[in-house]
Structure 1
Amino acid sequence: MGQSGVRGTRPRQRAARARELGWDDTLYEGGEGGADGGSSGGDDSAEGSAGRGGRRRGGSRRAKGGKRRILRWIAAVVSLLIIGTAGAGYLYYRHLNGLLTKDELTLGDKKMADHKANAAGQTPLNILLIGSDARDSAENKKLGGAKDTFDSPPLADVQMLLHVSADRSNISVISMPRDTLLKMPKCTDPDTKKVYPATTNLRMTNESLGRGGPGCTVATWYELTGITIDHFMQIDFGGVVSMADAIGGVPVCVTDNVHSRNREGKGSGLKLEKGTTPIKGEQALQWLRTRYGFEDGTDLARTHAQHMYMNSMVRELKKNTKLSDPIKLRKLAESAARALVVDKELDTIKKLYDLAEELKKVPTSRITMTTMPWVPQGGRVLPKPGEAELLFKMVREDTPLDGKASKKQKPKASKDPAAPDAEIGIMVQNGTYTAALGSATGRASEVARVLAGKGFALARADTTRNPLERTTVFFPSADLEGDAQAVAKSLGLPLSSAKRSTDVSGVTLVVGADWRTGSTYPKSAAKDDNNDKAKALKSARALNGEDTEACMEVQPGFTWEK
């Protein structure tokens, strides 16, 4: 990049570049003869006039000596090329690292909980993707418009939580509408040290970015969802355009000709013909920002369009995973480094590359895009009671949002044999509490007696109250998995209810809100759980990454004729 396309100029440019890197320029200078300078002509004349025996032997020795010198020269050049290339690569690597902007992961007071490993010791990965509407540069002002907002505190108008399952078999994405109303946690700006106190009233979630930076958006998500967030990536208008250009065209579909511009001049300006069109650069930004012209003209329609774009982009990148064009690769690397603000744990291009490698493991058919279930609230939205929390819970528990389970995730009988029932120590806790009904009194003691009647003589009631929606048998290590499954089986619980947790020291049965009465676990509980999940996913408008038929409906009044 930046070199002349004329072949004859390249050796000179490389020599100049070599000088910058400390290469020995004398390797590129001097006559062709070198140490053998005047001998070649003599050898030629002798070859023609003397007997073949001696001259050929003498010529052979010179030839061998010449070959050795040539080989040594080639070896020296190759060695320097390797060293020089490594040096150039290292300098470029440092250059890219220097382009990355880093910030604190979380600015909240709450310490995020550690991930719970699955039975294989694997942990999930959660990344918060943030789209900033900052109009703080000439480029962002030109792309963003709305002069009255220039140099104002940025808003997090796009917020997507990307969850990569512990076994890397699936990815789930939850978008939160920018006008979701919620309470903000206390945040401290890491640069100015300004303290933003926790709010007592509801505020739009996109305001979180202006309360100290992306770390406050992370803290706000954790406050609402309880989902541990490992990393964030933030991008602005200019970053979207440069990345979209570097990636190349991403196909998107509309059901009719669309022009996102109303009579007051509001809209993204997107203009597309009916059907599928590859978009990139500024047009890609317009698609991602379009509200007027899609479906009902709300931010929720825009979120759905963003999901379509991201799924299509992933499919395109999957098609071109074996990029061989170094200029395109360099453009992608430069664009990513310049476009992103990342947390300090993603402070090098190497770490970003390793993260990308983790994401590549997931097939597009196992990517699910969703929007947080919501209810209207005076022109804004609130998380939908029950369904939003269930979606968050599925992510916390690493449950795939596509309703499938990989072979690794399907519960299997433990290879470790269970101890005799009478020798399994069990602590039983009451987890039946709900906000509407409170706790079912005495449930830990009742279920402990049920277990004792089944031969589990060491079952004991624990006074600890541990509210849990579903009855679960926790175990701390693989050698107790068989014991936990034996307890679950005796009570009629599904095998999947036996879960590993580092929060317990032995087999611990938490009687959940799904089993408030009776000595027999209700068979309808598991069925109700599946129905609730299906209902929540329907509200969340789940979109599969392999859905190539997805097409945005065009809002009436925003069509045009050729």
Structure 2
Amino acid sequence: MGSRRVDHGMENISGVPGSGPLGTSEPAGRHFKTAKKAPLWLRIAALTLTTALVLGVGTAGLLFFKLQSNVSTAKLNVGVGKTGASQGPAEQTGSLQILIIGTDTRDGANSEYGTAEDSTGEGNADVMLLMDISSDNSHVSVTSFPRDLMVPIPDCETPSGIVYGAPAGQLNATLQAGPGCTVAAINDITGLTIDHFMLADFTAVKELSTALGGVEVCIDHDLNDNPGSGLILPAGTSWISGEQALQFLRTRHSFGDASDLARIQAQQYFLGSMIRKIKSEGTLTNLPKLYTLADVVTKNLTIDEGLANIPSMVGIATRLAKIDLGQVAFVTVPNTQYVGNDSKVQLLEPDAGQFFAALRNGTSLTPEPAPAPTGTPTPGDTPSPEESTGEAAGPETTDPEAAPSAYDKGIQPISVANASTLAGRTTELIQALAADGFASTWPAGDLAAQTETKVLYGTNMADVAHDVAALFKLPDTALVEDPAITGVQLVVGTDWVSGTDYGTVVVPDNIVQSTADQTGQCLTVNPDMYLR
């Protein structure tokens, strides 16, 4: 059946005179009126607003693209057998660790600081700062790792395919295999899994300090480090930026006892002052200001792929903006003189292990702000011991109907090795095992310090190892199968220095060297650097 068009006298309802029904000049329908043109000012305003929105969105997109195109990227972890890909974008919740590395390379724009021979490769890590943001954004720690800290160097694959590693070496040399190798080395010694890294060069430091309008520093005596770093400053307060800021951060002999540790203290002092300036000016919540700084810094920055997006960068700034300056702690990793070479340092145990355990646990290193008073409690408000601890008062009891062990505890071979650096640490743990029925337990002697406690177990010993871990409240992650072990071996690390219940975090005394809210202090100048 063919289609046909049915025309029931189509009415023109355009409202144009002479085009009404049946050719009349009336508009079609009594609810339709002749359209009026909008006033000229309204049309101009609408056009202007539309244009502004289009340009604004376009400009923002261009600015974001420009920032992302500024940076170079590299793998987060290049340790052989480790995860080579970056983590996902930085999240707004959960703990977040970012390793900030300053390279001493003289390549490219940094060539004025060295010879042509210096201007190759990744260079060494001149600065290594681990920024740890707590999961609830209540506190931040910034930990400095000395350049000459001797640590095991993991096997790392360089971009050219060469595997680089050593039983012991200076931590700053790991950068020669790329920033992902520095990440891998610090992961190994701390037990952390670092989320991101930022690698900056000399030029980034100069341009950032200039963009900020200078950073305030104070020294207790006139200083002249020439021809060393070239830093010359009068006693008292100065505002430094550009080349002078770089000299301040690089000088090796100007402050304290002229050691690398004194240099770290000066760097932390500079960072504290810079953070105060950024917070006081509201830079972290002012997108135009934040963009200006980001544009300056990202031109001289290498970051991991997971951090190479604008939402991540802005998200980190947003998190930092929420944190009180008194909760920003500066720490130098506990260290002592390296055995066999007085010019180098090694981890000081058990302090380093305790500190790393605190980081892994998210423990605040600074006193929490005092809570607001909530009024005087009435007698009925006081919790009982059971309510306050969540446990019943009185001695523990054993469930008589508990299922018996599937094996004879008395004959299981269990050894306890001491890797905590504390003399006699295994004694109470062996006693606790014996009291629980593990009668065949013996001390396995002292081992080199290990930052994490482990339960190693051999063939067909997983169930025994699990029960040993449960006895001491060790996490499942502590269980490690090792065919070379006969029976089970509990290796007590520096993260467990007292008691028979694992998990009690001990923060070393005086671990915090300063906080970002401290003002009015002046650095002590090394007398050899007095202005002459």
Q: TM-score, normalised by structure 1?
A: 0.66
How far 1:148 sits from its partner (Å)? Answer: 4.9
- 8 Å CA contact retained: 1:431, 1:513: no
1:100 CA displacement: 1.8
Q: Is 1:199 matched with 2:170?
A: no
Match for 1:103 among 60, 70, 74? Answer: 74
**Match runs of 1:359-438 below 5 Å:** 359-377=320-338, 378=341, 379-404=343-368, 433-435=417-419
Q: Distance in 2 between matches of 1:548 and 1:448?
A: 58
Contact preservation (8 Å) 1:107, 1:216 = yes
Q: Which amino acid aligns with 1:80?
A: T
The alpha-carbon distance between structure 1 residues 415 and 388, as it changes in their structure 2 partners (threshold 3 A), is closer
**Which amino acid letter does the alignment assign opposite residue 297 of structure 1?**
A
Q: Match for residue 177 of structure 1?
A: 146
Counterpart of 2:508 in structure 1 is 533
Give the match's secondary structure for 1:234. Answer: strand
Matches within 5 A, 1:339-358: 339-358=300-319
How far the C-alpha of 1:221 sits from its partner, in A, is 0.5
Question: Are positions 1:187 and 2:156 aligned together?
Answer: yes
Structure 2 partner of 1:259: 224
Structure 2 contact 283–289 (Cα < 8 Å) conserved: no
Question: 1:448/1:171 Cα in 2 relative to 1: closer, same or farther (>3 Å)?
Answer: farther
State the SS of the aligned residue for 1:271.
strand
The Cα shift of 1:328 comes to 4.6
- Residues 467 and 106 of structure 1: CA distance in aligned 2, closer, same or farther (over 3 Å): farther
Distance 2:202 2:367 in 1: 35
Secondary structure of residue in 2 paired with 1:130: strand
- 1:463 aligns with 464
The one of 509, 514, 528 equivalent to 1:543 is 514
Query: Which range moves more in the overlay, 423-432 or 387-396?
Result: 423-432
Distance across 2 between alignment mates of 1:125 and 1:414: 34
Cα shift at 1:287 = 0.9
1:3 — aligned with what?
Answer: none
Q: What whole-Å deviation, never above 9, does each CA across 1:440-495 have from its counterpart, x for those lacking one?
A: 4463462589xxxxxxxxxxx97217999xx96479xxxxxxxxxxxxxxxxxxxx
**For each residue in 1:88-119, what CA deviation from the matched residue of structure 2 results, as whole angstroms up to 9, or x when unmatched?**
2212211211112111111113547xxxxxxx
Post-superposition offset of 1:431? 10
Residue 270 of structure 1 is aligned with which of 203, 213, 231? 231
1:280 aligns with 2:249: no
The counterpart of 1:78, out of the listed 40, 49, 53, is 49
The structure-2 alpha-carbon separation of the partners of 1:325 and 1:307, relative to structure 1 and needing over 3 Å to count, comes to closer
| Separation (CA, whole Å) in 2 of partners of 1:81 and 1:413 | 64
Q: How does 1:125-524 map to 2 (within 5 A)?
A: 125-137=96-108, 139-142=109-112, 144-145=113-114, 148-189=117-158, 191-196=159-164, 198-200=165-167, 202-211=168-177, 213-261=178-226, 265=227, 267-321=228-282, 328-377=289-338, 378=341, 379-404=343-368, 433-435=417-419, 440-441=429-430, 443-444=432-433, 446-447=435-436, 463-464=464-465, 473=473, 514-515=498-499
| Distance across 1 between alignment mates of 2:515 and 2:197 | 23
Once residues 289 and 170 of structure 2 are traced to their aligned partners in structure 1, the CA distance between those partners, rounded to angstroms, is 39
| Superposed displacement of residue 151, structure 1 | 2.1
For the 8 Å contact 1:108–1:186, the answer to whether it is kept is: yes
Structure 2: runs of 5 or more not aligned: 1-33, 84-91, 372-384, 439-461, 480-490
Partner deviation per Cα, 1:35-81 (whole Å, 9 max, x = no partner) = xxxxxxxxxxxxxxxxxxxxxxxxxxx9x956534423432332132
Residues 101 and 200 in structure 2, CA contact (< 8 A), matched pair in contact too: yes
Tell me, what secondary structure is at the counterpart of 2:161? coil
1:225 and 1:347, CA in 2 relative to 1: closer, same or farther beyond 3 A?
same
For the Cα contact (< 8 Å) 2:107–2:118, is it kept in 1?
no
Provide closer, same or farther for how the CA distance between residues 361 and 328 of structure 1 changes in structure 2, counting only shifts above 3 A. closer
The AA in structure 1 aligned to 2:110 is N
**Which stretches of structure 1, 4 residues or more, deviate above 6 A after TM superposition?**
323-327, 412-432, 465-468, 501-504
Partner-residue secondary structure (3-state), 2:154: coil
Contact 1:246 1:328 in 2 (8 A): no
- SS of 1:389's equivalent? helix
Displacement, 1:236?
Answer: 0.3
> Aligned equivalents of 2:477 and 2:389: distance in 1?
18
Q: Which position in structure 1 is the counterpart of 2:382?
A: none
Q: Is the 8 A contact 2:104 2:126 kept in 1?
A: yes
Q: Is the 8 A contact 1:125 1:163 kept in 2?
A: yes
Identify if the C-alpha distance between structure 1 residues 425 and 226 changes in structure 2 by more than 3 Å, giving closer, same or farther: farther
Distance 1:319 1:422, change over 3 A: same
Q: CA deviation at 1:205?
A: 1.0
Q: Distance in 1 between matches of 2:309 and 2:436?
A: 53
Q: Is the 8 A contact 1:308 1:550 kept in 2?
A: no
CA contact (8 A) 1:107 1:187 kept: yes
Could you tell me how far 1:432 is from its partner in structure 2? 6.3
Displacement of 1:255 in angstroms is 0.9
Aligned to 1:560: 531
> Displacement, 1:177?
0.7
Relative to structure 1, is the Cα distance of residues 514 and 106 closer, same or farther in structure 2, using a 3 angstrom cutoff?
same
The structural deviation recorded for 1:150 is 2.7
Question: 164-173 vs 322-331, which deviates more?
Answer: 322-331
| One-letter amino acid of the structure 2 residue matched with residue 199 of structure 1 | A
The alignment yields a C-alpha RMSD, in angstroms, of 4.1
Q: Distance in 2 between matches of 1:125 and 1:448?
A: 42
> Secondary structure of the equivalent of 2:527?
coil
**Structure 1 counterpart SS, 2:188:** helix
Distance 1:184 1:325, change over 3 A: closer
On the 8 A contact 2:272/2:516 being kept in 1, the answer is yes
The structure-2 alpha-carbon separation of the partners of 1:72 and 1:353, relative to structure 1 and needing over 3 Å to count, comes to: same
Aligned mates of 1:100, 1:406 — CA distance in 2: 42
The alpha-carbon distance between structure 1 residues 176 and 323, as it changes in their structure 2 partners (threshold 3 A), is closer
Taking the aligned partners of 1:134 and 1:165, their CA distance within structure 2 comes to 32
Aligned residue for 2:508, secondary structure, equals helix
TM-score, normalised with respect to structure 2: 0.69
- Contact kept, 8 Å, 2:284 with 2:318, in 1: the verdict is no
User: How many matched pairs?
Assistant: 424
The residue identity in structure 2 corresponding to 1:169 is S
Cα 1:80–1:362 change in 2 (3 A) is same
Cα deviation, residue 194, structure 1: 2.7
CA deviation profile, 1:180-205 (whole Å, cap 9, x unmatched)? 1122101112x323322x313x2111
